[in-house]
Amino acid sequence: MRRVVITGMGPVTPIGIGVEAFHKAQLEGKSGIRRITRFDASQLPAQIAGEVDINVEAYIDKRELRRLDRFVQLALIAGELAIKDAGLDLDREDRTRIGTLIGSGIGGMESFESQARVFVERGAHRISPFFIPMMIANMASGQLAMKYGLMGPSSTSVTACTTGADAIGNAYYVIQRGDAEIMLAGGTEAAVTPMAMGGFGVMKALSTRNDEPEKASRPFSASRDGFVLSEGAAVLVLEDYEHARARGARIYAELVGFGRSADAHHITEPHPEGLGAKLAMEAALRDAKVGPEVVGHINAHATSTPVGDRAETLAIKKVFGERAYQIPITATKSMTGHLLGAAGAAEAVASIQAIASCILPPTINLEDPDPELDLDYIPNTPREKKVDYVLSNSFAFGGMNASLLFKRV
């Protein structure tokens, strides 16, 4: 099996765009949650979200933008940032050996809603001919491959909130098998739309702390009342270790373990004892051929829902036993909100940055800890600590679970 390393990263998030801005915002404990500006949300129960403040025309030609849903736009920007960060000169590479694996949990929700209105109000003949290729979830991978002429394996993952982690893990397998030397992998989501906000709202899944947006996402707090929906993207450059060394690439970290499982329990709620999450973490450790004692930090899925945070805490205790109390844990979503299909990829970036910088980012808004959740969640301020292994968790509706294990090189 080939070794797989991370040589480039491109986060596009509500708290920062690009590796430096994203990392700085984490260490400052910045919240990206605000009242929604992209549409009138005044009639919705939840009127807050994590929106990406970006001028897309600075990255993508204005004429092309009309043919791309926002989830694809964000993925293309993230891909461009990741390629530049990796120092990749594509003219010197064999583009048949570079692939794309960008996932989206929902796909072109904005296009779906706008074209549905056109259909109802003006008839089928007025639907845009670009509607279907704007909406389908694989188009982020497809458009990224077309933009750069990448002819290696191209695919997508659609596994709700584990999508970003699954995409990275599946790309890891592609390189391990020798089917590509480089993969652009990650997730993208642009579901801060009226129907998505309304749909999650009627499920009672969203925080309704509309008067204090910055404090609404509060994992592990006794007063948590639901997650905050966000948009964003993150693309990582995964590369064969020997190929990276041969071109003199900077290596952020090595991906050494990927584990997946199913709760087989409920369409939206995690297993109450965290059994599926436990299996995914154990599978990642087993894939890396290491024991739980090596893990120095965990980037938790931690959505700020009452049942989710509890189940993940129980799962961590089952995997690590008494040592669970000694492992610092970060909930990135306390700052970014929940990027759905992009969350696992953005949190992979945060996990890798924790290894590279020797600073562990905080869980903000942890002002009233839930007494039942008693692990070390790095409350409110970052912590300097050198760690060699970081575990990043992602769990999803449908009972899907994924864990990625990164290692210092």
Give catalytic residues, as residue numbers: 161
Q: In this structure, what token pair is assigned to residue 330?
A: 């970060």
Q: Cα dist. 216→22, 33, 228, 339, 367 in Å?
A: 20, 8, 7, 15, 12
Per DSSP, 190 falls in state -
The identity of residue 4, as a single letter, is V
Residue 356 corresponds to which tokens in the numbers above?
A: 């590279």
Give the number of residues written for the chain.
Answer: 409
> Under a CB-based contact definition with an 8 Å cutoff, are residues 81 and 17 in contact?
yes
C-alpha–C-alpha distance, residues 332 and 196, integer Å? 22
Q: Is 222 exposed, middle or buried (0-12, 13-18, 19+ CB in 10 A)?
A: middle
Residues 6+ apart with CB under 8 A from 103: 137, 140, 156, 157, 158, 159, 163, 164, 166, 167, 186, 187, 188, 341, 345
CA-to-CA dists, residue 154 to 49, 188, 382, angstroms: 31, 15, 37
List the structure tokens of 13: 């998030």
Q: Does residue 364 contact residue 212 with C-beta atoms inside 8 Å?
A: no
Specify whether the CB–CB gap between 370 and 376 falls below 8 A: no
The token pair at 190 is 């642009």
Q: Are the beta carbons of 193 and 348 closer than 8 angstroms?
A: no
**Spatial CA neighbour of 81 closest among 21, 157, 3, 32:** 21
Report the distance separating Cα 61 and Cα 355, nearest Å: 36
* Centroid of chain to Cα 4: 19
CA distances from 98 to 89, 291, 357 (A): 12, 33, 28
How many helical (H) and strand (E) elements, i.e. helices and strands, does the chain have? 13, 15
The answer to whether 343 and 395 are in contact (CB under 8 A) is no
Please give the single-letter amino acid code of residue 66.
Answer: R
